[in-house]
Amino acid sequence: EAEVAQSPRYKITEKSQAVAFWCDPISGHATLYWYRQILGQGPELLVQFQDESVVDDSQLPKDRFSAERLKGVDSTLKIQPAELGDSAMYLCASSQNEREYTDTQYFGPGTRLTVL
């Protein structure tokens, strides 16, 4: 069964350092999502890609966060500089279809980030 891949699974960094997360969606999935999830809360959408284009980054803190999906396949999310409040689980998900359609999102295993 096809899965969403993410790396690393765990990351510990000091504040003010740069961190990067990688995601490879299920093959053929056009839509890719990056979420941040704090313990005890639901996932919060950071950015949504349709192929290589950003369709929603309204909740992405753009002063320190950036995301790209250059070839419309895998994606990287970067934080620079990291702050203590960035400690969370970072989840990547993908879905098959275009916008204007309700489709199931499938999640990768996530990256647990701890900022010291």
Partner 1 sequence: GQNIDQPTEMTATEGAIVQINCTYQTSGFNGLFWYQQHAGEAPTFLSYNVLDGLEEKGRFSSFLSRSKGYSYLLLKELQMKDSASYLCAVTDSNYQLIWGAGTKLIIKP
Chain centre distance of CA 19: 13
According to CB under 8 A, which one of 91, 94, 113, 115 is a site residue for partner 1? 91
- For the chain, first and last CA: distance in Å? 37
Is 5 among the residues that bind partner 1 (CB under 8 A)? no
The C-alpha atoms of residue 101 and residue 109 are separated, in whole angstroms, by: 25
Is 11 among the residues that bind partner 1 (CB under 8 A)? no
* Interacting residues with partner 1 between 96 and 115 (CB under 8 A): 99-102, 104-110, 112
The C-alpha atoms of residue 58 and residue 40 are separated, in whole angstroms, by: 23
**Is 43 or 115 the residue whose CB approaches partner 1 more closely?**
43
**Is 50 or 81 the residue whose CB approaches partner 1 more closely?**
50
Q: Which of 62, 54, 58 is nearest to 45 (CA)?
A: 58
The set of residues, in sequence order, having a beta carbon less than 8 Å from that of 29 and lying 6+ positions away, is: 94, 95, 96, 106
**Binding mask of the shown chain, residues 23 to 62, with x at each position contacting partner 1 by CB under 8 A:** -----------------xxxxxx----------x------
List interacting residues with partner 1 (CB under 8 A): 40-45, 56, 89, 91, 99-102, 104-110, 112
